[in-house]
């Protein structure tokens, strides 16, 4: 397996928030980065930020609910940079939603299709190329909702599922030299959370007051964990949900 400074990384949801910071952090560590997102403006802006800092990146418009898009994303890494060594499968959505029995099936299916099946599609495309390369490292974005019930039912189910996929992939492919882990962010200061705060500032104040760190997390703090998990320093960390939440779940 290559070191990050010699490798190629793909990041889904790379156009903003955690995905953008992960893309920047991979590039800072020396990787060539394929930034994937459905948000073209955000994706190209991430690439521009990487290039301004002296890194190398390319944007791919990829919807993780479309297998052809996901396959093309990985093929771009191969065509442009010679292969794929690292992946951060980060694209996802959140929704406060309703109680479990109050969803319609379309709402439920959309959440699962993006947050859970989207990660599976990415793994399905990434794993064969990493096997061909002799190994690699993949981090999937779950959530504190993946190890608790803090969230709506369909979101909690999707994020629990991501951890299950991560663990099963570890068992299936550890012998092929691929490491899989999940990062479980708490409440992070991303555009998604900022929008929620604008919609309900009192609720955001209540949430922040309930975090022992007494602040929201910075996307950079999640990105640092992702890149560390892909590094040789984490070579014996496999199949783990790594919680980065400011102490939220310690209570």
Mapping DSSP to helix (H, G, I), strand (E, B) and coil, where does residue 195 land? helix
Question: pLDDT tens-digit profile of 13-24?
Answer: 999 999 999 999
> How high does pLDDT run on average in the chain?
94
Q: What is the pLDDT of residues 30-73, one digit of tens each?
A: 999 999 999 999 999 999 999 999 999 999 999 999 999 999 99
Cα Rg, the chain, nearest whole Å: 17
Burial 37-70 (b: 16+ CB within 10 A, else e): bbbeebbbbbbebbeeeebebbbbebbbeeeebb
Q: What is the pLDDT of residue 188?
A: 95
Residue 1 has pLDDT above 60, yes or no: no
Active site residues: 155
- CA geometry: angle at 23 spanning 19 and 25, to 5°? 115
Model pLDDT, residue 243: 98
Measured in degrees and rounded to the nearest 5, phi and psi for residue 90 equal -115, -20
Closest alpha carbon to 31 in 48, 46, 50, 52: 50
Contact (CB, 8 A) for 33 and 27: yes
CATH 3.40.960.10 fits 4-244, yes or no: no
Q: Are strands 32-37 and 136-141 parallel, antiparallel or unpaired?
A: unpaired
Q: What pTM did the predictor assign?
A: 0.95
Domain segments of the chain: what residues? Answer: 4-244
pLDDT value, residue 133: 94
Q: What angle do CA 50, 53, 57 make, to 5 degrees?
A: 25
| pLDDT greater than 80 at residue 194 | no
Q: Give the range with max mean pLDDT: 97-101, 169-173, 247-251.
A: 169-173
Q: How many CB atoms lie within 10 A of CB 130?
A: 25
Q: Do 142 and 169 contact (CB within 8 A), yes or no? A: no
């Amino acid at each position: 397996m290559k070191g990050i400074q010699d490798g190629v990384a793909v990041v889904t949801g790379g156009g903003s928030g955690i995905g953008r910071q992960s893309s920047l952090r991979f590039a800072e560590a020396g990787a060539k980065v394929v930034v994937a997102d459905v948000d073209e403006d955000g994706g190209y802006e991430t690439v521009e930020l990487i290039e301004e800092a002296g890194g190398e990146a390319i944007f791919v418009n990829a919807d993780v609910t479309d297998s052809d898009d996901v396959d093309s994303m990985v093929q771009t890494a191969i065509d442009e940079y010679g292969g794929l060594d690292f992946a951060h499968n980060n694209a996802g959505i959140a929704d406060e939603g309703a109680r479990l029995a109050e969803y319609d099936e379309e709402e439920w299916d959309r959440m699962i299709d993006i947050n859970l099946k989207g990660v599976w599609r990415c793994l399905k495309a990434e794993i064969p190329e990493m096997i061909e390369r002799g190994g690699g490292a993949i981090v999937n974005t779950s959530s504190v909702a993946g190890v608790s019930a803090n969230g709506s039912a369909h979101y909690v189910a999707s994020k629990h599922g991501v951890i299950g996929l991560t663990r099963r992939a570890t068992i299936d492919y550890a012998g092929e030299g691929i490491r899989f882990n999940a990062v479980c962010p708490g409440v992070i200061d991303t555009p998604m959370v900022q929008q929620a705060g604008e919609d309900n500032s009192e609720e955001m104040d209540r949430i922040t007051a309930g975090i022992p760190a007494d602040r929201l997390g910075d996307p950079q703090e999640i990105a640092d964990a992702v890149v560390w998990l892909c590094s040789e320093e984490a070579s014996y960390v496999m199949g783990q949900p790594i919680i980065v939440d400011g102490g939220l779940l310690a209570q």
